[in-house]
Structure formats: C-alpha cells, structure tokens
Structure 1
C-alpha cells in the first residue's frame, strides 16, 4: 500500500474509534431507537461469506428482542502490527452496535511475559471496575486465567481472541485454530505436488512448549504423511541470523534428501525463507507454500517463487468479538453459541479460518484489504 493509502487507513481507523465511543441513539427508557444494522462488507472472492452469514443470523436474533446500551472493553497485546486489522474490526463492530467502549493496548508495564500478563490482569480488573459488561481480550495465555475467572464470577463474560486462555472460564475463543490451519496449509501444498514418493520440507515449530506452533506443524505433517510423502521439519530460527541459518539448512535438504525434495511448506511469518532456499539451491521449480503476508512473501509471490500463502483473518476476529459479547448480553451464551455453530471448531472455539491467496491473486487480495480499510 502506498503512503497515501496508509494515511487513508489511519484516518479511517480514527473515525471508527470515535464512532465506537458513543452509545447510539436511545429512547427515553434507555433503549436504542433503531435495530442493529451492519454495514455491508464489500464483495470479493476473499469476503468470508460464511462468517458474514453467521453474523447476519446473530444480528437478526438480537433484533428480535430489546436493543439496550452496553459497555465493553477490548484489551489487546498490541495495537499496531499484526493487531492493526483486529483493532479496525473491533472498532467498526462497536460503532455499528452503538456500544460504549474502546480498544486498549498494553499498559506498558513490564517487559517480560509474566510482567505483561500481570499488567493485563490489572487491566481486566479495571475494566470491570469501570462498568464493562463484557470483555474481549487477547490474553497472555493461562497466566491471566484467574483474572478472567474473577471477572466472570462478577457477571462479566469474557471472550478471548487471537490467543486463548483454555484454563479459564472464558466463554468463547475467536481466532485461528492451529491444527485446522496446519491441515489447510498441508492440503494447499498437496495439490501442487507430484505423486509420491518424495520429501517435503516443513519450515515450522518442533518445540512442544509452543503448543499452537506444534499443533500447526502436526496438522500439516499429518496431511502430507497420510499422502505417503516423507516429511522433514526445519525448526524456525528466531534470531537476526535466522535467514542465513534456515536457508542453509533447507538448501542442504534440497540437495541431499532421499527421496528428493518435491516441495516446501512454511508455517509462520518468516516462511519466505523457503523461497530463499530454493533460490540458493538453484531449484526454483519446486512448489513453495507459505503463511502470512509479509512484504518479502509478497515479493516472492510476485516473482512466482511462492505459489500460495495463507493469511489469518485478524479483521474478522476483531469484528466478531463485540457482536459475540453483545449477543451474550442480549440473548444469552447458549443461544449465541447455537447461532455461531457453523463456525465453531468445538464447544468453545470459533474458527475464523484462513484466506488462501494464490501467487497470481496478490493484487486482488490487497484490493480487498483496502476495501475494508486494513493492512495485513
């Protein structure tokens, strides 16, 4: 996106934030004068039509009852970067609902995980004290489970997004389901591979302490091994020297694997390193499938060296949470879950899914993101 486009998105986000702070038009009894009406999402091949339909069904059910004011808080680990589309979606939803609320970033207290978790727990307590009737939070895992449970015990439902706190009493998790995402990625690459036998290099996680990373890798691995391919996992190097280390390791696999390497699959934001490895090995004819929409990933897609990438639907995660919180207040948790059932991965986790972007659809995908006012 060019500089003018970025300025437009920033201005658009501020306008959405301002709209989210009001409580909408009300009658003398405190009820809103008009039913909830969602702004239409621009039509595109990347529009999440199944999520749109589920939201429309939820709004229709809510509109059958009384439309009442509500105060909520959306607490995120960050405001910029990966969380920018989440912020945009949440602000848009709160503006449409006419609720009182804000999207809030970290308090800035502490630098390590535990300190940030403690600060976030304090934010939850403050939101309850300030009158929040529902809280959405991207938690620092189960480190804030007790704070979530305390809010729930006080009658304030909590919905998690992007990351989960499975050990807490949160009502619903909204976001990418790691095991499902891995399966989707494996299937995308599988469609591009020659018949087995062959070796596939997965650039991903193999550390059991990173549960989401492991689940994503295991989902992809299962798809490929079930199709009789040999799978080699190159663990991601998370350091400034990662490009060199990972590229050299994957280049070695390409040059020496038996059976020969027939494709590469990257499962995280630095997965453009798979394309770098094929260049280094002089094997740019190998199919490469990646994750996320980093500038380097887009560059390699435009060159045809990455055949497809998978992007997480952060905007939809942010957009869904205020509607879910309002649904819980208006029609109850069980009724809300029943309407969300088509998108529920299990009893308490809603899967926003992925956008699979082919190499020749980069411009169309960017145009879709522009149409909803977000960067990816």
Structure 2
C-alpha cells in the first residue's frame, strides 16, 4: 500500500510538472495570438483597390497589437436593397471578422426619399436607440441635415460616429468614408469627353444642382466644371427619385434631345438611375449619342452589355460598408489620431477618407461583373 501511494504521488508530481511546463509555454506566447483579427482575403484582379486593401491590413496590424476587446457598434443604412445592398454585405463581413457586437440596420426596401420623412425619422430613432443601448460607435449614411441633430447628440454622449455615402461635415462626425463627389463628377465628364465628336454640340447632364442634396449637387457640379472647359453647351435635367415618376425624367430628356440647339452630342447621368439617358435616346432614335453613367444598377449593367452605355463610374459600395466597422474598431482601440495616421494614404483632408471610384468601360463589363461576384457585391 505504501509503495502504491508513493507511485501515485510520483505520478501526480510528474503530471503537475508537465502542466506547469505547458502553462509556462503558453505564457511565453504573445497575448495577441489568442484572438487576432483575421481578414478574409480579397481576390486580386485588375479592379482590386490595392492601396485600400493594404491600408486596411495596416489598420488590422495596429489593432492586433492593442489588446483586443469587443466593440459594440451599429451601421445604419438608408435601406438594405439595390444600391445599399453591397454596403450591407461589406459591413456584415467586417463585423463578422471583428466579432463586433451589433447590427447592420435599415428598411428592407428603398423608400421615396423626397416624398416624406418616415425613413429619416426611423434613422433618428435608431441613433437614439444606439445611444441608449450603450453602443461605442455608429456608422451612418445620413439623410443630409435631417439627421444632423441626432448625430450631434451621439457625439455629445461620447460615441464615435463615421458617415458614409453621404457626408454631414457640420455634425461633429469623426470621419467620412466614400467617394469625393466633385472629383468623381470630373472623372465621369473626362471619360465622356474622350467619346465626343468635335464641337459645337450640347451635352445633356442628368443630375441635381439643388442645394438640398449636397453630395448629389457636388457630383453634378464636378461634371459641369469639367465640361465647361471644353466649349460644349451643357443642359441639366433634374433627376427625379420618387417612385412612379420616372416618366417625368424621360419626358424632360426626350424633349431636350429633340429640341437642343446645337444638337445633343453626348449624355451623362450622375446617379444610379443614369440608365434613363439610354431609354430617352432610344425613344428619340438617337442611338449615335455616346452615354456615360454612374453606378452599376442592374439596368445599367444590361445596357452596358448591349454597348449602349460606353462606360460607367462605379462607387465602391462594398468597400464603404467594409471599411467603416474597421475604422470604428480602430478609433476605439488605438484612438482617432492613430487611426487617421494609418488611413493617411486615403485621406484628402483631416476628416474625409476617399475610397475612390472605378471607371468601367463597356468592354470590361464582364470582368468587372466577375470581380463583384467574387466579393459578393452584385446588386
């Protein structure tokens, strides 16, 4: 019995020593190896924004060295369909990689942004709910000044707020993420100018020059500024987004094509409803007019396949959604200034992160469509 007891004690001593050795080995490992953020790799194609991808990698590296803790955040979209669907895809993917606590929220379908305040009121309520629920960060695509007070309230409560798609520069938000709209407009005009015949001629701009929609007007003014230096006459047709009133746009565009003096030699639409330019040109049997559009609406894609749209300027919606949670996570873990320093290659000023746009010519339609499919960003 005594011998067995000693054998048992010896066995326990050996097991204890082994466990102690294992614990020592574990403690020698860097703490960050326990729960490092690991990104899903983006396929490398001619359309992959490599500088943006590298910047996110650098941000992840800095966060991984800071000692990871969960971050509660909410991402608020105008809606979850059509244009915003790739944004939701990117945001959900990033939040999954970060294991962030929170949701991507928005109405399930697009509403009439100009016909009422239901969606705007809902977004204000969602911001108030985020404050009450103890969120540390909010990413929001605001309805211009309608949501400014709510964002200010969130900032006053200590929440980090990042806007995307639409900016509210006077709201107290920490950063804006998206395209720089005036530059995007100029790029669209420059793309069209290369396709125009020698002047004189009229270029139709399907856009928005009102002051109510800042980003929309900035993109339109960018187009007009670039075209104004060429000697072509420009005529603006106000874009209408209210469901059921698409024919108003078409009637205005058709009338201008038929009556413009000098004749119409080109068209550019600066929003995701740009495909209406093609519908108007076809209705007036002016298939010779070169047309450049914005975004990658399914109808736009259809006309690109038919070569009726010569090129489209595509905002990187997926990357808007993907980058915002990483920025909010970075601000919480390493601070705003350190985050901005890492984002430096993408920043155009102290508060705006430019993720750029893609110029997609018609002959690259399938290649670009394949890229969007690979990242899960098909609208």
Q: TM-score, normalised by structure 2?
A: 0.83
Matched, 1:80 2:68: no
**Structure-1 residue corresponding to 2:16:** none
Q: What 5-or-longer segments of structure 1 have no aligned partner?
A: 1-26
- In 2, are the aligned partners of 1:178 and 1:213 still within 8 Å (CA)? yes
Deviation at 1:142, TM superposition (A): 2.7
Distance 1:237 1:324, change over 3 A: closer
**Structure-2 residue corresponding to 1:257:** 260
- In 1, are the aligned partners of 2:291 and 2:309 still within 8 Å (CA)? yes
Deviation at 1:242, TM superposition (A): 5.1
- Mapping for residues 132-151 of structure 1, pairs under 5 Å: 132-151=135-154
Query: For 1:304, which of 298, 303, 307 is the aligned residue?
Result: 307
Quick check: which has more Rg, 1 or 2? 2
Query: For 2:219, which of 216, 219, 224 is the aligned residue?
Result: 216
CA distance in 2, matches of 1:257, 1:143: 37
Distance 1:186 1:107, change over 3 A: closer
Query: For 2:209, which of 195, 206, 209 is the aligned residue?
Result: 206
Q: What 5-or-longer segments of structure 2 have no aligned partner?
A: 1-26
**1:148-180 deviation per Cα after TM superposition (whole angstroms, max 9, x unaligned):** 223222222111122223221110111233212
Matched, 1:162 2:165: yes
Deviation at 1:255, TM superposition (A): 4.2
CA distance in 1, matches of 2:116, 2:166: 14
CA distance in 2, matches of 1:74, 1:211: 22
Query: For 1:346, which of 316, 337, 349 is the aligned residue?
Result: 349
Matched, 1:355 2:358: yes
Query: For 1:188, which of 179, 186, 191 is the aligned residue?
Result: 191
Structure 1 counterpart SS, 2:360? strand
- In 2, are the aligned partners of 1:148 and 1:158 still within 8 Å (CA)? yes
Deviation at 1:313, TM superposition (A): 1.4
Deviation at 1:223, TM superposition (A): 0.5
Query: For 1:272, which of 272, 275, 282 is the aligned residue?
Result: 275
**Structure-2 residue corresponding to 1:235:** 238
Deviation at 1:282, TM superposition (A): 3.0
Deviation at 1:91, TM superposition (A): 1.1
CA distance in 2, matches of 1:40, 1:240: 38
**Structure-2 residue corresponding to 1:13:** none
**Structure-1 residue corresponding to 2:295:** 292
Deviation at 1:337, TM superposition (A): 1.2
Matched, 1:179 2:182: yes
Structure 2 counterpart SS, 1:350? strand
- Mapping for residues 30-49 of structure 1, pairs under 5 Å: 33-49=34-50
Structure 2 counterpart SS, 1:102? strand
Matched, 1:374 2:377: yes
CA distance in 2, matches of 1:126, 1:44: 40
Q: TM-score, normalised by structure 1?
A: 0.84
